[in-house]
Amino acid sequence: DVCSSDLAIEGMVGFPVHPLRFRANVYVQGWPAWHEASLLGETLSIGDVRLKVVKRITRCAAVNVDPELAVRDMEIPNTLMRRFGHNECGIYAEVIDGGSIAVGDKMAGAQPALA
């Protein structure tokens, strides 16, 4: 699960959005908001780990819950639906080659998409 759009969502809802709302395994900095949506079918690498992007994430009401206070305080999927006509944010990727990753590792395209 990879997400790069939490800051863009802050602009839409008008409040800080804690990245933990999205429960991603990997958070990416430096990509334009929703860039990950264009990577469907691509192969990515982080260090010696290779991932195949397999699906966009349809967000449910769980992202409306503040991860620190455990209260529903936003309507993120509804806001995405009103703004873009979908409630997708983030991607799922399957591990092709496992290994270790660490904070600060760079993510890049590894090779053309696998068939």
Residues contacting 73, CB < 8 A, separation 6+: 15, 64, 65, 66
- pLDDT tens profile 58-79: 999 999 999 999 999 999 999 9
In this predicted structure, the answer to whether residue 114 has a pLDDT above a threshold of 50 is: no
Q: What is the pTM of this model?
A: 0.83
How much is the mean pLDDT over the chain? 89
> pLDDT tens digits, residue range 76-90?
999 999 999 999 999
